[in-house]
Each structure stands twice: as C-alpha cells, then as structure tokens.
Amino acid sequence: MLTRKLMQALAVLVILLSGCQGVSSSHSGTTEKTIDLSDKIEVTVRRVIDGDTFIADVNGTEERIRLILVDTPETVHPTKAVQPYGKEASAFSKKTLENQSVYLEYDKEKRDKYDRLLAYVFLKDGTSFNKILL
C-alpha cells in the first residue's frame, strides 16, 4: 500500500516537473534562464512552518504563505502523524528560506480555504523555490 502511494506521488512529481520550464536553479545544476523578478512582490520570511508553508512579512503584515503546486509530507498536521520525509522537507525549507528575502507571484486564486496566501516563491537569484523543493 505504501509503495503504491509512493509510486503515485512520484508520478505526480514527474508530471509537475515536466511542466516547469524556463526556471533556473543553482541547486539542481541546470543552466536554464532565471525568472524576471521586477513584477514580483518582495517579502521577508520570518518562520517556516513546514516544507510547503511559511510566515512572511508582506507589506508590514505577517501572512501565512502556501506554496502553489507543492505538497510536502506533513510534520505539524493536527490529526496526522509526521509523514516520511516531512522533517527533511521542513529542514530544507527552513535552511533555504528562513530570514531571507524572497519574491512571490500569485496565481488566479490568491487565498486558500485556510486564508493562506497561495504563491510561487522565487529566491533572490530568480530560481523557483517551488521547483527546487520538488
């Protein structure tokens, strides 16, 4: 059962990654173009909650930000146990984002049902954090 779920998750990741083009990542060793940050919103990450959610200062207001197209294993869910690789995803996000300036790009839906801002997140050099986390 776990193997089947893992294979399904990997298949979804492959599909998502195949749609990510034109984004550079020094973390992945690629030499693709970086994203133009001039039309993005610069924020400061205050605290990482888990692999796909963090708190940032957005124009003077603390906001919860949820990464679009990324769903890392749970580590702080109120009704679920810590899932495999959840701690690693959280540690990676913490190491990469905490106390850093990043850039947000919103999609059509700006907030989710939990009132979190939904965003694509870009590092200072223009690389997509959503992509490198995958």
- Looking at the annotation, which residues are catalytic? 66, 74, 116
Q: How far apart are the C-alpha atoms of 41 and 104, rounded to whole Å?
A: 5
Q: How far apart are the C-alpha atoms of 123 and 134, rounded to whole Å?
A: 15
pTM over 0.85: no
In sequence order, the 6+-apart residues with CB closer than 8 A to the CB of 40 are 103, 104, 105, 122
Q: How far apart are the C-alpha atoms of 134 and 128, rounded to whole Å?
A: 10
| Position 21 pLDDT exceeds 70 | no
| Position 34 pLDDT exceeds 80 | no
| Position 29 pLDDT exceeds 50 | no
For range 28-44, the mean pLDDT: 73
- 3 state DSSP class of 114: coil
Print the domain residue range for 119.
2-133
Structure token digits, residue 108: 């059509």
CATH code at 98? 2.40.50.90
- Using pLDDT thresholds of 50, 70 and 90, give the confidence band for residue 36: confident
Contact call for residues 52 and 72 (beta carbons, < 8 A) = yes
SS (H, E, C) 49-64: EECCEEEEEECCEEEE
The pLDDT tens digits for 68-99 are 999 887 777 777 777 777 889 899 999 999 99
* Percent above pLDDT 70 for the chain: 75
Contact call for residues 118 and 66 (beta carbons, < 8 A) = yes
Total structural domains in the chain?
A: 1
Low-confidence winner among 6-10, 99-103, 126-130 (lowest mean pLDDT): 6-10
